[in-house]
Amino acid sequence: MIQALYTGVSGLQVSQRAMDVEGNNLSNLSTIGFRAQRVEFATLFDDAKNEVDPNGSIDSTVGIGSRVNATTTDLSMGALLDTESNTNLAIAGDGWFGVEDGNQRYFTRNGNFTFDVNRDLVMADSGMYVLGTIGKNINFNTQELTEEIDAIPLEDIKQQKKLRLPNTLTSPAKATEDTSFFGNLGTEDTTRVMSAKIYDVDGNTLKLKLTFTKAKEQPEQGIKWNVKAVLTTKEEKEGDPIYATSDGDVTFNEKGALTKSTLTNIAYNGSNINIDLGKGFDGVTAIANVPVTASSKSDGHEKGELIGYEIAKDAEILATFTNGRQSSVGRVGVFHFQNDQGLNRISGSLFAESDNSGKAIIFKDQDGNNILGASVLNKKLENSNVKIENGLTQLIILQRSYQANGKIVTTADQMIQKALNMDA
């Protein structure tokens, strides 16, 4: 009877604990990055009734009560939610975002990030700093971008730090080095003009104009044009200065394909601009009965000021400038553990490393380069991995278990009362 009482009481305790856990799971159904918990039970005591072969298939032990053996974390991935913010991230696969509060580091699957007033990347709800790698292409003293980079490589675990970016950042001007022209001059004896936008070493926008006129002396086959290159202001108003000129001629065969060009460059302000008119039908042509066209392509760009930062796929932090340029300036880190189940739960979506989890690590590829180890998606958030149908079903089962154990306690109490009355 006493054994029955203890069995019922222990059953009530573990059922209550399990219901609390399931209730907490359901209350966090919409918590971004939440990881559900699962309660595992074990027998409190075993009483062996018979001596049996330990290798046999018959278990003759009888459990006397139960206990909570462990509360584990469900590490399955939650559903992905689409958002409009490019600072919202979700990890598709294994891994955790790292965040920092003072000197304490935590780990989370909640990628609801934003840039604060200081241009620090932080968690939107708590303000904790997000950890990652800052590119070496920013001069923080002059607040100037020193190099355009497509992707920032991840640094080692000890170099991961909060992502503080400058409030103002300048993309320096780059002088034009190469200009290509495309189009059809036709064969009529008239002046043709092509032009291109050019940038000098100071970032000023200029205009490179090519004027084509038919040569007085023509080859026996094909056609020859004289061409004059003039570098002037981008508006090219009357009275504006001419900065540089260059002359040459271009020859086309009877089909209109370019066979020779002596205009190859124009020099200005200590720099040399290469002029590419193409070859054959790839570039400038002189084909009869085909519409006259003109276009150009130049490298270089003017000076640009920072528009803002955004986060692209695979956690790249991009800076966008008014001159249309864009460069990676950092990357959000993704951290891994030898034993994710060993992490200490701080809150529903926030965890800390422990002796059981081991220290946080960053994965490496076969060449020893640091990698994310998972895909990071922008404009998405990972919702709680709690499934409401499973949670409600489990809660009903646990309530029935609680009621059954309560009945055991009541019955055991009645039996004890009868035994006491019989003794009287």
**Domain containing residue 353:** 85-171+305-378
Pairing outcome for strands 178-184 and 271-276: parallel
Q: What is the pLDDT at residue 249?
A: 95
DSSP category for residue 118: T
Q: Judge if 42 and 13 occupy the same domain.
A: yes
Check whether residue 197 and residue 269 sit in a common domain: yes
3-state class percentages of the chain: helix first, strand second, coil last, to nearest 5 = 15, 40, 40
Q: What H or E segment, with its residue span, contains residue 250? A: strand 242-252
Give the mean model confidence (pLDDT) for residues 406-412: 67
217 and 131 housed in the same domain = no
CA-atom Rg of the chain in angstroms: 37
User: What CA–CA distance (Å, rounded) separates 345 from 354?
Assistant: 10
The mean per-residue pLDDT over the stretch 31-54 comes to: 68
**Average pLDDT of the residues of the chain:** 87
**Which pLDDT does position 417 carry in this prediction?**
75
Same domain for 230 and 273?
yes
9, 67: one domain: yes
**pLDDT at residue 225 in the model:** 97
Q: Which residue has the tokens 């370019």?
A: 258
- As a whole number of angstroms, the distance between CA 305 and CA 87 comes to 21
Residues 249 and 294 in one domain: yes
What pLDDT, on the 0 to 100 scale, is given for residue 22?
80
The predicted pLDDT at position 46 comes to 54
Helix (H) or strand (E) run with residue 285 in it: strand 282-285
User: For residue 409, is pLDDT > 90?
Assistant: no
Q: Which of 342, 385, 352, 333 is nearest to 163 (CA)?
A: 333
Is residue 262 pLDDT above 70, yes or no? yes
- Parallel, antiparallel or unpaired: strands 178-184 and 293-298: antiparallel
- Between CA 219 and CA 305 the distance in angstroms is 52
pLDDT score at 131:
97
Residue 47 has pLDDT above 70, yes or no: no
Number of domains in the chain: 3
Q: Which helix (H) or strand (E) segment is 194 a member of?
A: strand 192-199
Q: What is the pLDDT of residue 211?
A: 96
> Is 160 domain-assigned?
yes
44 plus 106 within the same structural domain:
no
Are 199 and 256 within one domain?
A: yes
pLDDT (0 to 100) of residue 57 = 53
pLDDT at position 123 is: 95
* Within-domain flag for 154: yes
State pLDDT tens for residues 102-143. 889 999 999 999 999 888 999 999 999 999 999 999 999 999
Residue 80 lies in a domain: no
Together in a domain, 315 and 351 = yes
Domain-embedded: residue 145: yes
